[in-house]
Structure 1
Amino acid sequence: MTGGIASGKSVVAARLKERGAVLVDADALAREVVEPGTEGLERIISEFGPGMLDDDGRLNRPRLGEAVFGNPDRLSALNAIVHPLVRARAAAITAGAGRNSVVVQDIPLLVETGQGAAFHLVVVVDAPDDVRVQRMLDIRGMTVEAARSRMASQASRSDRLAAADVVLDNSSTLQHLLDQVDRLWDVRLVPFAHNLAAGTRAPRRGGPVLEPHRDEWAVQAARIAARLVAAAPELILAVDHVGSTAVPGLAAKDVIDLQVSVQDLEAAEKLAPFLAAAGFPAVRGAESDTPKPGDPDPSAWQKRFHANADPCRAVNVHVRAAGSAGWRYALMFRDWLRNDPSALRDYQAHKADLAGRFADSATTRAYAEAKEPWFTDTAWPRMSAWAEATGWVPPSYPS
């Protein structure tokens, strides 16, 4: 969880703790790791000098703040000391939490330090800049200049919102904010934690509902892809946004499809527990795509399939060996639709027809099965001809 100064983050943290969260407060830990006798304080004195101590031998925070404010090099030196110690302490607290616990790490500089990909969710407490300035004037007695200077030293509001999986709006009343926190806890955090502990995907209900294309799908896909890579960077060659949500202008179900490229299926098996820990458990019974005509090797269409444990963000993760037939098809199909307007129109019409036919279905299974012949009989020959005519080739990765 993060948020800019005067956004109301402390209120949210307190409410989550009331609801049962294990709260890890980065600011509190930052004070703890520089207490007298700690490695952190010794390293700060070595870097900044004994003048950083007060008369009681404790860290003189205002003096240290003056030494680093407006000086990026000095601030970087301080962060290089404190941040690793805080993260180690936070990791120890997290490791000691119960299996079904919801652990909330309150990190003011999460966006600035690029830590978002390390967590299952990033929650941003948000309020417009002018509202935050007024709060600093009313509650903290700051001047407008001082308030805006503090805000300017942090990530911009737009950068924080871009990093957010969840945004809690604190531009209205306190009760409005608390209601959002309670809903987040009940609807998303607790079920998510349960699914993670059980190693199961979140249930999906209802028939196919197509939505107009949303630009935010690409933003969400990039954020989730970074989370996947962070889970096991040594095993993952690339993560690509594929499927309908990856095609601008195409209506789609609100499901993000990601293709994870690995060296081979052995690597895919090794990757499975890391993806599960990151919030994407394996789904058995979906280990193969449908082979296309002319391919004599069905094994080239093998994959490993994972899906979201998060009940509020549907994600399909297709783990395929780089260079395999199924891997190549997913990338070619996406690029064909992105570059051939007639293909996009035809596929859109086909999807809309099937979505209407299966609108009353309890799941999307029948809809997906009914689409499959179109992929083989229509898409396969047309996009193969397109690829040959345009010289399309898939990406290559270092071995």
Structure 2
Amino acid sequence: MIRVGLTGGMGAGKSTVATSFADRGAYLIDADKIAREVVAAGTPGLAALVEAFGEDVLGADGELDRPALAAKAFADDESRGKLNAITHPLIGARTNELLQAAPEDAIVVQDIPLLVENHTAPFFHHVVVVNADVETRVHRLVTSRGLDEDDARARIAAQATEEQRRAVADSWLDNSGTADELAAKAIDLWAQRLVPYEVNVRTGVVAEPLPELVADDPNPAALGPRLTNRLWAIVGDKATSVAVTAADPVTLTVTARDAEAAAALPELLSAGGFPADRKGGHGSADPGRPARVVVAIG
């Protein structure tokens, strides 16, 4: 199993990619859908919001009145913190339930609009960013979703920048064209990279890099930091350092806390996308991201 983080700014076309992946068997987890489910009518989540913010956050139908809640919850940092303290644990618990239910051979695609803003990119085997230029996105939000232009621009400005998204992206899908063109790009990514990646992780095989995929890296200069952060997410407190120690291919040395921690790392690294190689280290299971990992003991 691999976990794929799917993200992109408002109006970028993320839903088209999510649908393309789901049509090919992706196990889709939609963060926005979960956020609505955990505060639906009759849930403990909605009851907690009513207790915290008052009965007037309820609509006449018993469902959450989201504009009324927003007016109260985003009034100041304290109120925002109160909202997050209620909803974030519920969203996390439901997400974990869905992850636990995923098949062993699943490609889990987690559709997360604020993946970059929430700093969760390192926890995924692969991050896919869908992008379109600001003017294209504004046009789509105004014509397709009925947003006021100023509102659309303000919402886009409040999200991550293109530079911030490129820093964490493993794949970059440009959506300056039609929905069909974007879907075709998503299908190619699924077949050429994500499916082989999942098979390699599940079977413990280091990928043979494919030059055309490697050349598509959206930000080669950020590969070292990207892999460093990914490895920290995999090894956690079992390591005292993770450092880039060579460039071609990118090689990182993970210094284990002690011998016991070092013994646990091979299994963690393999599940995280870096199975054992024939040289006594570990290699990337992603055919578009060649890398080696060496374990040392501190």
Q: Same fold (TM over 0.5)?
A: yes
How far apart are 1:236 and its partner, in Å? 1.1
AA of the residue aligned to 1:231:
I
Residue 248 of structure 2 corresponds to residue 272 of structure 1: no
Q: Report the Cα distance in structure 2 between the residues aligned to 1:181 and 1:215, rounded to whole angstroms.
A: 15
Closer, same or farther in 2 for the Cα pair 1:183/1:72, shift >3 Å? farther
Residue 71 of structure 2 corresponds to residue 95 of structure 1: no
Q: Deviations 1:325-350 (Å, cap 9, x if unpaired)? A: xxxxxxxxxxxxxxxxxxxxxxxxxx
Q: Deviations 1:3-25 (Å, cap 9, x if unpaired)? A: 11111111111111111101101
Query: Which residues in structure 2 correspond to 1:1-399 (within 5 Å)?
Result: 1-69=6-74, 71-204=76-209, 216-243=219-246, 245=247, 253=248, 255-283=249-277, 285-287=278-280, 305-322=281-298
Q: Report the Cα distance in structure 1 between the residues aligned to 2:19 and 2:164, rounded to whole angstroms.
A: 25
How far apart are 1:76 and its partner, in Å? 3.4
Q: Deviations 1:328-375 (Å, cap 9, x if unpaired)? A: xxxxxxxxxxxxxxxxxxxxxxxxxxxxxxxxxxxxxxxxxxxxxxxx
- Asked whether the equivalents of residues 218 and 241 of structure 1 are also in contact (C-alpha less than 8 Å), the reply is no
* Alignment partner, residue 369 of structure 1: none
Secondary structure in structure 1 of the residue aligned to 2:115? coil
Q: Deviations 1:81-113 (Å, cap 9, x if unpaired)? A: 222222221222122121111110001111111
Q: Report the Cα distance in structure 2 between the residues aligned to 1:46 and 1:219, rounded to whole angstroms.
A: 45
Closer, same or farther in 2 for the Cα pair 1:185/1:70, shift >3 Å? farther
Closer, same or farther in 2 for the Cα pair 1:14/1:282, shift >3 Å? same
Q: Report the Cα distance in structure 2 between the residues aligned to 1:10 and 1:71, rounded to whole angstroms.
A: 31
AA of the residue aligned to 1:314:
P
AA of the residue aligned to 1:97:
A
Q: Deviations 1:235-290 (Å, cap 9, x if unpaired)? A: 011111111x2xxxxxxx4x22111111344322111111111111122x423xxx
- Asked whether the equivalents of residues 217 and 256 of structure 1 are also in contact (C-alpha less than 8 Å), the reply is no
Q: Report the Cα distance in structure 2 between the residues aligned to 1:146 and 1:205, rounded to whole angstroms.
A: 43
Closer, same or farther in 2 for the Cα pair 1:185/1:33, shift >3 Å? same
Q: Report the Cα distance in structure 1 between the residues aligned to 2:204 and 2:166, rounded to whole angstroms.
A: 29
Q: Report the Cα distance in structure 2 between the residues aligned to 1:203 and 1:269, rounded to whole angstroms.
A: 26
How far apart are 1:67 and its partner, in Å? 2.5
AA of the residue aligned to 1:26:
A
Secondary structure in structure 1 of the residue aligned to 2:92? helix
AA of the residue aligned to 2:243:
D
With normalisation by structure 1, the TM-score equals 0.68
Query: Which has the higher Rg, Structure 1 or Structure 2?
Result: 1
Percentage of identical aligned residues: 40
- Asked whether the equivalents of residues 200 and 207 of structure 2 are also in contact (C-alpha less than 8 Å), the reply is yes
How far apart are 1:43 and its partner, in Å? 2.1
AA of the residue aligned to 1:286:
K
Q: Report the Cα distance in structure 2 between the residues aligned to 1:70 and 1:173, rounded to whole angstroms.
A: 39
Q: Deviations 1:194-237 (Å, cap 9, x if unpaired)? A: 1111122213489xxxx9xx994441111111111112311011
- Asked whether the equivalents of residues 170 and 218 of structure 2 are also in contact (C-alpha less than 8 Å), the reply is no
AA of the residue aligned to 2:115:
L
Closer, same or farther in 2 for the Cα pair 1:72/1:13, shift >3 Å? farther
How many corresponding residue pairs?
A: 289
AA of the residue aligned to 2:118:
T
More strand per residue: 1 or 2? 2
Q: Report the Cα distance in structure 2 between the residues aligned to 1:72 and 1:179, rounded to whole angstroms.
A: 43
Q: Report the Cα distance in structure 2 between the residues aligned to 1:205 and 1:235, rounded to whole angstroms.
A: 32
- Asked whether the equivalents of residues 225 and 240 of structure 1 are also in contact (C-alpha less than 8 Å), the reply is yes
Q: Report the Cα distance in structure 2 between the residues aligned to 1:277 and 1:197, rounded to whole angstroms.
A: 8
Closer, same or farther in 2 for the Cα pair 1:18/1:278, shift >3 Å? same
* Unpaired runs of at least 5, structure 1: 246-252, 288-304, 323-399
Closer, same or farther in 2 for the Cα pair 1:71/1:134, shift >3 Å? farther
AA of the residue aligned to 1:316:
R
* Unpaired runs of at least 5, structure 2: 1-5
- Asked whether the equivalents of residues 8 and 125 of structure 1 are also in contact (C-alpha less than 8 Å), the reply is yes
Q: Which has the higher contact order (CA 8 A, sep 6+)?
A: 2
How far apart are 1:69 and its partner, in Å? 4.4
Q: Report the Cα distance in structure 2 between the residues aligned to 1:107 and 1:95, rounded to whole angstroms.
A: 18
Secondary structure in structure 2 of the residue aligned to 1:232? helix
Secondary structure in structure 2 of the residue aligned to 1:93? helix
